[in-house]
Each structure stands twice: as C-alpha cells, then as structure tokens.
A and B are shown apart, each in its own frame.
Chain A
Amino acid sequence: MLNLKIGKIFGLALILLLLLTACGQDTDSSSGETSNGDSTEIKVWHYFTGKQQTEFEKLAEEYNKLQDKVKVVMEYVPFDETKKQLSIGVAGETLPDIVFMDGVDNASFAAIGVLEDLTDRIQEWGQAENYYEGPLNSTKYNGRYYGLPYESNTLALFYNKDMFEKAGIEEPPATWEELRETAKKLTDNEHYGFAISAVRSEESTFQFYPFLISAGGDYQNINSPEAVKAITLFEDLLKDGSMSKDVVNATQDDIAKQFAAGRVAMMINGPWNITRIKEDAPDLNFGIAMIPKDVKSASVLGGGNLTIVKGKNVDEAWEFLKWLQDPKQLEPFASSTNIFPPRKDVLETSEYWKGDQYLSEFIPIMDVAVPRGPSPEWPEISSAIQVAIQQVLTESQSPQEAFDEAAVIIDSIIGK
C-alpha cells in the first residue's frame, strides 16, 4: 500500500520534471529569436544585495538609454557563489563579459588566464593616479592590472563611548599596550573589553591582517617574530579575560551584534556594519578610530573589483567600465549605498564621507590599508593562517608552534 503510493508520487514527480524541462527549452529558443541582432549584449555578474543591488542595476538601465550600441544585462550571483560559478563558467565556457569579484580573488583569476590585461587601456585612460594605491594593487598580477577597484572597505576600531566614559577613559587606545590595558579595564562579569572575529573562514585572516602588518610581518614569513608577536596579542587578550573564547565561532556580523547590544566595548569591524549597528541600537553612542598599532598604523583592505573576461566583447565592456568609474556615476552610487569609492578624487572632494561622523573616520585609515596577498594561491594560504589563529585561540598550541606549522604549509604553496 505504502509502496504503491510512493511509486505514484515518484511517477508524478518524473512527469512534472519532464514537462518542466520541455517548457524550459521552449522559452529558451523563443527568447533567442527575439533578442536584437544590432546591439551587443554585455553581461555583468555582481554580488550586490539590497539597496546596492537596486542602485547598481539602475546604472545599467541608464547606460542602455544613453546609447544603442550595447545592451548591458546585470545578473546577480551571491557572494559565496561567485567563485564557484566562475569556475563552472570557465569549464562550461559560459562566462559573462564583466565580473565584479572580491579583490582578494582578482589575482587568482588573472593567473588562470580568464581575465583581460587592462594595463595598456588604463595607461591610455590616464586616471590611475586618482585611485588609492591599496585597492588598485589588488588588481595586480605579475605587475599588470587585471581590473579596476570599484568598492572598497577597510577595518577600524569601533568603541563604545558611554562605556569609555563610565570607566573614565578619554581616548581610544592607540598602541597594543594601551589596547590591553583599556580592554582589561572595560571587562567585567557582563562585558568584554574587546572582540575580533576568528571564525574559520576568510574573515579571521581579514581581521588578523591589520595586526600582522602593524607589527611589520607579512604572510610569506608567517612564523617571523613579528607575526608571532601579533597573534600573541590576541592570545594575551584572551588570557586577560578581555576577549571571549567564543570569538572562534563569531563572524564579523556576530560581533557587530554583540557590540550593538552593549556587551562588547571595542571591536574590529568595517563600515558595512554601521547601518546595522544603528538599526539594532539607535541610541548607541559609539566612535570609530584607527586600529591600535605596534610599529606602524595599518589596516586591511576589503572590497570588490570590476574585471573584464578575456576574448569576448572587451572594447564594449571597457567603455561601460570607464563610464561606471567616472566620478559622475561613482559618487552618487557610492554615497547612496554607504560604500567607499576607491578613487581619492571622489572620497576627498565629496562632502558626503567627510560630513558623516562615522564614515569620515575611515578616510585616513584608507591610506594605510593594504590588500591581502595578492597571490593566486590566496585561498590555501589563508586557510593555513585561519587554522593557526584557531589553534592559538583555543589554546591547542603556542603561537610559535602554530605559526611554524602554518609556515611549512605556506612555504610549500608559494614554492619557497
């Protein structure tokens, strides 16, 4: 009796599937006929969501109205999916013309050879000096440019002003020693002085990077005394009790929630979480400052680059890319969506970022922010760093041991 029923259900499902695939093919062929033969179609993949998505897609409509040579078609591919879709696209030869991708992946895809070398075009265009060095460098592979930065962000120290006032602290900490002291003072039974995200994903490498650079370390020598000193700071904060052990499972969004709830006095986070904090806690009195430094002030760069796929409609795609990067388009897009334009001439002349009490604090940080890598093997390198960070923060291994292990892995990846 039961078997019969299941059989029926499967039968129905199969018929449905066949019908659906048949219909699918039908619509495919008909849409092929209706597409206009005169204009070239430029397909763009992007991972913007929410307001950013609507604003970005509006730009395509606007561009399509301005001229009739090309028709720009936007397609949303979720952030986590982008790399996967690209790798499938490479295998199946179904790549779009323009891809908006995480800056840290730019070098990898340049190395595979799917991206167009834009160096000569950028030189001819003559606008390269208007860009921040960090974002522009994230498009580099073997000294050539394989894209243009479009959206940039960086990490900063967020601090709860009310909690500072209550503890009698006037200034946010500027050095690592001050950070330890301040975090300790702000910690009690219900509050933690400090939080970072140390989850096993790119986020923990991202959060660790400012400290690594500040100490004078780099990823190629991850077991250098400087790098070990940086992770020892995290270990010390944990041992002091100023930081929760939960950080190994906390994403950047998670710690932003803790910060908004007033349970954490200081955290490392980026500008994209400002809106979220304001929504969660409209009355929270917080400020933004440079990340405390060791040898030099530093931060890490995040964000996305616009790249052009090789061997397709490169010239048309480049025209559209230049149009998007024009301050006339870039400024309204970036300001209406709370992101940072990678162009100095936009960020420094516009009133929008300077006038905002939170965003303005990020402007000087942008100057000291460096991209991760860039390396075509970044995912594997980052993975080794993530494990090492977690080994230290779960007290499974000492900083030196954990980073020695990571160094062995990284050396074998970069072929040192």
Chain B
Amino acid sequence: MSGTRNRIGYLFILPAIIYMLLLIGYPLIYNIILSFKDSNLMNLATADSHFVGWRNYREVINSEVFRISLKNTFIYTVASVFFQFVIGFLLALFFNLKFRLASLLRGIVMVSWLIPMTITALLFKFMMGGETGVVNHIFLSLGIIQQPIEWLTNPKMALWGVIIANIWVGVPFNMILLSTGLSSLPEDVYESASLDGANALQKFFYITIPLLRPVIMVVMVLGFIYTFKVFDLVYVMTGGGPVNSTEVLSTYAYTLSFDHFNFGLGAAVANILFLILLIISLIYLWMIQKDEVM
C-alpha cells in the first residue's frame, strides 16, 4: 500500500526532476566531457575533436594567467564577503533600532542591489576614472589625496577598484537577511539578560551572535558562492585588465572559450570553478547537518 503511494509521490516530482536534468544536469555533464576533449573552432565543423585525457587541465594549471586569476578570485571573494558582511551587519543593527523612517531607509538602501549589474559596473567605471572620475574629484577637493588615484588603470589598484564596487552591490543583500534574522530573535531573552545586568556589548556577543549563527552562515556561504562566480562586474569594468590584474576564473574561462575559441580549455577552467564551489557547498551542508543534530 505504502509502496504505491510512494510511486505516485515520485510521479509528482517527475517534472521537477526532468527540468533539473535537462537544464542543469545536461550542460554540466556536457561541460565535463568537453573539458577532456581537444575542442576548438578548428575541429568543431569536422567533429573530429578527440579525448585528450587530463591535458586541458594540465595546460590550464601550468598557465600563469590561471594562477593569477585563481589568486584574484580568492582575494576578490574574501575581501568582498568580509566587508559586505561587516557593513551589512552594522546597517542591519542600525535599522533594527526601529526609529521612524527605518523601514523606508532600509528600502532605499536596497536600491543598489536592484540595479542591474552591468549598469552598476558602468557607473563605477565612470566614477572611478583616473582624471575625470567624480570619486577622485571629491577626494582631491576635500584634500584627502594629493594625486588622483588610478583606480582602474593601475594594475596594483584595479582589483580593489572592482572589489569596492562589489561591496556596494552586496551590502543590501547582507543587510536584509541579517535584518530579517534580527527581527525574528525572541525579545524575552534580551529582557531577562537586562534583568541580569548584561550591557549592550555582552548582549550582542552572548545573545545576538549565537542566536543569529544559522543566518550568518547562510549569508556568508551564499555571499561566497555569489561572489566567487563573478563575471559581469569585472567584464564590464576592466575586462580582466589592465594586463591581467583583474582576471578572475570566470572571465578567464570566457576568454578561453569565446575569444580564443578553445572550448576544451575554457570548460576545464569552468569545471575547476565549479569544483571549488561544490566543495564550499558540501562544507556548508555538513555544517547545517551538524547544527541540526546539536
């Protein structure tokens, strides 16, 4: 009896499974196959691309640009997630004070998250121009700097220029999730803490942070995944330049596939990117499970 009911149950999730297999599973597997093939524009028409084993991966890992883009991706992600989280948390705490206009202001802050990424990228590229940019203009006239900062034209600075833009984009996402988490915390715990004579700092570190732990973890992991696979922001702001200073894994995979038309190499880079994210997701799942057991 329960066996048939189960089978009917599977029938109900069948559309979802087909959908996932077609739109997520197929490209994923195709990409993995591609990464073991010598596939480029030359042999695409003749269909004589053949398997080359790990050659694409070896070639990619030995290339200097790959190492640069791997390093850049990590710096970009860690710095972005860290600052987005800190600023987002501070804003969430601020808006949690429940003053008048708090929800209105919170809504306005969300705007930077709603603007299409390409537009944000173009705006920042424009604002961060070396001599003509408004950022330098303001800093110079306030006397904060003496020389214009070469935000996006100096290879040592450019990655940070892109990171700053991305922090601006990601703060509202952190803020809104943390803010929702904060408002769901039980009031009575705070009340009893007050009765016991805890000060604001103690309440924050011994009540808010532990209670908010699941939300913080979600925010961090989602932020990490979202930032790690960045493409549009970097592509529009610098195109990976100057030289290779802002090349990240996704832009490098794109360049290999669609500028050089070496699809095998591009797929290999994309798969490495995917593998790293998969590991992060597994760690996250493992952490959640551990939490539930506790």
Contact between A112 and B41 (Cβ–Cβ < 8 Å)?
A: yes
Check: A245 CB closer than 8 A to any chain B CB.
Answer: yes
Give the contact stretch, choosing among B42-50, B221-229, B281-289: B42-50
User: Within 8 Å CB of B260, what residues of A?
Assistant: 379-380, 383
Query: Cβ of B42 and Cβ of A245 under 8 Å apart?
Result: no
Quick one: which of B46, B153, B259, B261 contacts A394, CB cutoff 8 A? Answer: B153
Q: Are A14 and B15 in contact (CB under 8 A)?
A: yes
| Set B153, B240, B259, B261: member contacting A245, Cβ < 8 A | B153
Contacts of B130 in A (CB 8 A): 244-246
| B241–A199 CB distance below 8 A | yes
Q: A397 — nearest CB in chain B belongs to which residue?
A: B243
CA distance A246 to B130 in the complex (A): 6
Query: Given the known A-B contacts A245-B130, A245-B150, A383-B260, are A200 and B42 also in contact in the complex, defined by CB atoms under 8 Å?
Result: no
Q: List 21 A-B contacts (CB under 8 A).
A: A14-B15, A90-B44, A90-B45, A91-B44, A108-B261, A113-B45, A113-B46, A200-B238, A200-B242, A244-B130, A245-B150, A246-B153, A249-B238, A376-B42, A379-B259, A379-B260, A386-B241, A390-B243, A394-B154, A394-B155, A394-B242
Residues of B within 8 A of A109 (CB): 41
Cα A111 to Cα B46 with chains together (Å): 11
Q: Could you say which residues of chain B place their CB within 8 Å of the CB of A87?
A: 41, 44, 261
* Residue A83, interface by CB 8 Å: yes
In the complex, how many angstroms separate the beta carbon of B194 from the nearest chain A beta carbon?
Answer: 30
On chain A, the residues within 8 Å of B259 by CB distance are 379, 383
Chain A residue contacts of B139, Cβ below 8 A: none
In the bound assembly, the distance between CA atoms of A396 and B154 in angstroms comes to 9
B150-189 residues with Cβ-Cβ distance < 8 A to A are 150, 152-155
Q: Does chain B have a CB within 8 A of A174?
A: no
Contacting pair A114 B45 (CB below 8 A): yes
Q: How many angstroms between the C-alpha atoms of A13 and B259 in the bound complex? A: 34
Residue B132 interfacial (CB < 8 Å): yes
Number of A-B contacts (CB under 8 A): 81
126-147 of chain B: CB within 8 A of chain A: 129-132
Instruction: Determine whether the beta carbon of A84 is less than 8 Å from that of B258.
Output: yes
Interface membership of B19, Cβ < 8 A: yes
Q: Is the interface of B mostly helix, strand, loop or mixed?
A: loop
Looking at the assembled complex, report how far the CB atom of A152 sits from the nearest CB atom of chain B, in whole angstroms.
24
The interface residues of chain A lying within 8 Å CB-to-CB of B44 are: 87, 90-91, 112
Asked if B42 and A390 sit within 8 Å, CB to CB, the answer is no
CB distance from B34 to the nearest CB of A (A): 11
Smallest Cβ-Cβ distance to B42: which chain A residue: A112
With an 8 A cutoff between CB atoms, is B271 at the interface?
no
User: Chain A interface (Cβ within 8 Å of chain B)?
Assistant: 14, 83-84, 87, 90-91, 108-109, 111-114, 199-201, 244-246, 248-249, 258, 263, 376, 379-380, 383, 386-387, 390-391, 393-394, 396
For B49, give the chain A residue with the smallest CB separation: A91
Q: Which A residues are CB-close (under 8 A) to B153?
A: 245-246, 248-249, 394
Could you tell me if A246 and B41 are in contact, using CB atoms closer than 8 angstroms?
A: no
Known: A113-B45, A199-B241, A246-B153. 19 other contacts (CB 8 A): A14-B16, A83-B261, A90-B45, A112-B41, A112-B42, A112-B45, A114-B45, A200-B242, A201-B239, A246-B129, A246-B130, A249-B241, A249-B242, A379-B261, A383-B259, A390-B243, A391-B243, A394-B155, A394-B242
Least CB separation from A93: chain B residue: B45
Question: Do B243 and A396 touch across chains, with their CB atoms under 8 A apart?
Answer: yes
Give the distance to chain A from B262, nearest Cβ to Cβ, in Å: 8
**A157 CA / B145 CA spacing, docked (Å):** 35
B37 contacts the other chain (CB 8 A)? no
Please indicate the chain B residues that have their CB under 8 angstroms from the CB of A263 in the complex. 132
**CB neighbours of B242 from chain A (8 A):** 200, 248-249, 390, 393-394, 396
Query: With an 8 A cutoff between CB atoms, is B244 at the interface?
Result: yes
Pairs of residues from A and B, 5 with the lowest C-beta to C-beta distance, nearest first: A200-B241, A246-B130, A248-B242, A390-B242, A90-B45
Whether A396 touches B155, Cβ cut-off 8 Å, given contacts A90-B45, A200-B241, is yes
| Residues in chain A near residue B255, CB distance under 8 A | 383
Assembly CA distance A14 to B258 (angstroms) = 31
Are B261 and A390 touching (Cβ within 8 A)? no
Docked Cα-Cα span, A199 to B239, in Å, equals 8
- Which A residue sits closest to B132, measured CB to CB? A246
Cβ contacts B231-261/A at 8 Å (1 or 0 each): 0000000111111100000000001001111
CB-nearest residue of chain A to B16 = A14
Taking the nearest CB of chain B, how far is it from the CB of A53, in angstroms? 23
Q: How far is the CB of B3 from chain A (nearest CB, A)?
A: 27
**1/0 contact trace for B10-54 toward A, CB 8 Å?**
000001100100000000000000000000011011100000000
A90 touches B154 (CB 8 A): no
**Are B125 and A90 touching (Cβ within 8 A)?**
no
User: 1/0 per residue B92-136: CB within 8 Å of A?
Assistant: 000000000000000000000000000000000100011110000
